[in-house]
Amino acid sequence: MQVKKSLISEHNDLDIAEHQRRYEWALTHIAHCDSIVEKVAAFQITIPSWALGTGGTRFGRFAGAGEPRTLLEKIDDVGLLHAISRSSGSISLHFPWDSVDDAPAVRTRAISLGLQFDAVNSNTFQDQPSQPLSYKFGSLSHVDKAVRNQAVEHNIETIRQGELVGSKALTLWLSDGSCFPGQINFRRSFERTLESMKQIYRALPADWNMYIEYKAFEPNMYSTTVGDWGYSHMFASKLGKQALTLVDLGHHLPSTNIEQIVAILMMEGKLAGFHFNDSKYGDDDLTVGSINPYQLFLVFCELVRGMDEQKMNHAQDLGWMIDASHNVKDPLEDLLQSVEAIQIAYAQALIVDSQALFQAQEANDPVAAQEVLQAAFRTDVRPIVAEARRRAGGALRPISLFRSMNVRANLIAERGSITRSTGL
Ligand code: RM4
Ligand code: MN
Ligand code: MN
């Protein structure tokens, strides 16, 4: 299904007068409004291929209708989202879920929709039917070298697949760990994991990075081999310059101060980027900004100030990706909401009065510091984000356009009502 440009502008016409009033307000109340609009428009957020279908839980999965059945259809869905918001110009593939069988066709389809390929993800947390050895007791950390070799080979194959489409990074997320005290030897497990990672690292092309994602729990509930940023950072430091730590917002223990982790990793040049989602309890993978938008804003405050200090390009120098998938919303509407939530948090962080914040910090004045932060957080930056979309040719109101176009009904007509996209 294609989104015609004329349809977007007709839909925008319905709201343009109101939008202009709201944007006028922003222009008179927010400093450097135009340059913020430009930054927001340049900021692109990667869509993970596994979020295009309905996510499941360990209790089951309620597959949605009209889900993409093939890699080309997944690319089409991301193309649709990008046409509407002009803010999600890349897709992240997961292997073996997304095997690239016909690379020229895949590349051509992506180019025609203005999409690029972001980091590729390996999967050694599930057994595949064709696989001789099981990951039940781990992959890169497994006690049996043959299992470790199989997992290393899969990661190297994932890199090869990524090269076919022009990806530049491998994201490694391991479910390795243990469910019971005494089950594994922590030190040997760490050493084996490092050894396996070194083999993967050696296979990395010179212009690629390796992102090491950590997670405190699940599916192993007593210990996780890459359990937090500290382990990830240790692995990444031992591996070398191309290895970096990836932060997934849902992978921490409750109440962890994620913004502080981000600030320090970035200062050390070891932050790869993000998997955005939101959560109430654990790795809930809920829509970005749906539970704790203030935390998201605080994370962006550290990112923006840290990147500015190091003269980094906001849009290009870190990996920005959504990693959410759950059971109740239409996945495409959910992704539109997540993209917008990220843009809002980014725009709010851009309007923080950095100098006033710095002065408050130097004067030991927590009251003033809070005033500065919350003045930005409580400012309605939605007209700025809408203006960024409009200038890039996207919709003023993405969800409203999506619904008025009957996207899901059209996809069901094309693909059928009994479809199941690969993913969790
Ligand atoms: C994990 C982790 C990874 C993702 C898988 C599907 O919890 O967040 O990034 O690849 O889920
Ligand atoms: Mn993740
Ligand atoms: Mn996760």
Q: Could you read off the pLDDT of 315-331 as tens digits, one per residue?
A: 999 999 999 987 899 99
Integer Rg of the chain from CA? 22
Tally Cβ neighbours within 10 Å of residue 187: 8
Q: Is the pLDDT of residue 185 over 90?
A: yes
| pLDDT of the residue at 421 | 81
| Helical (H) or strand (E) element with 91 | strand 90-92
* Residue pLDDT, tens place only, 340-371: 999 999 999 999 999 999 999 999 999 999 99
- Name the residue among 77, 90, 84 with its Cα closest to residue 399: 84
Helix (H, G, I), strand (E, B) or coil at 116: strand
Give the containing element (helix H, strand E) for 189.
helix 186-202
Determine if ligand 1 sits within 6 Å of the CB of residue 285.
Answer: no
Burial of 421 from C-beta contacts in 10 A (0-12 / 13-18 / 19+): buried
**Taking 90 as the threshold, does the pLDDT of residue 418 lie above it?**
no
Position 144 scores a pLDDT of: 98
Whether 80 shows a pLDDT value over 90: the answer reads yes
Q: Is 330 in the pocket of ligand 1 (CB under 6 A)?
A: no
Q: 3: CA distance to ligand 1 center in Å?
A: 30
In this prediction, residue 272 carries a pLDDT of: 98
pLDDT (average), residues 149-176: 98
Report the separation in Å between the CA atom of 199 and the middle of ligand 1, taken as the mean of its atom positions: 22
Q: Is the pLDDT of residue 26 over 90?
A: yes
Q: Is residue 201 helix, strand or coil?
A: helix
**Token duo for residue 138:** 């781990």
d(CA 20, CA 47) in angstroms, rounded, equals 30
For ligand 1, atom 1, which residue shows the shortest CA distance? Answer: 173
Q: Is 98 in the pocket of ligand 1 (CB under 6 A)?
A: no
pTM to 2 decimal places: 0.97
Is pLDDT at 69 greater than 80 in this prediction? yes
Residue with CA at minimum distance from ligand 1 atom 3? 173
Distance 404 CA to ligand 2 centre (A): 32
**Angle made by CA atoms 288, 68, 413, in degrees to the nearest 5:** 115
Residue bearing tokens 């944007």 = 23
Nearest CA to ligand 1 atom 2: 173
Amino acid code (one letter) for 21:
R
Indicate whether 10 pLDDT > 90: yes
How far is Cα 341 from Cα 385, in angstroms, rounded to an integer?
Answer: 10
pLDDT average, residue stretch 250-279? 97
Average pLDDT rounded to a whole number, residues 291-296 = 98
Distance 175 CA to ligand 1 centre (A): 9
Q: Is the CB of 252 under 6 A from ligand 1?
A: no
Residues whose CB falls within 8 Å of the CB of residue 355, separated by 6 or more in sequence, listed in order? none
347 lines ligand 1 (CB under 6 A): no
Atom of ligand 1 nearest to the CA of 94: 10
pLDDT above 90: residue 31:
yes
Percent of the chain with pLDDT over 90: 94
Helix (H, G, I), strand (E, B) or coil at 88: coil
Task: Please determine, for residue 159, whether its predicted confidence score (pLDDT) is greater than 80.
Answer: yes
Report whether pLDDT(422) > 80: no
**Eight-class DSSP state of 415:** H
Name the more confident of 72 and 64: 72
- High-pLDDT (> 70) share of the chain, %: 100
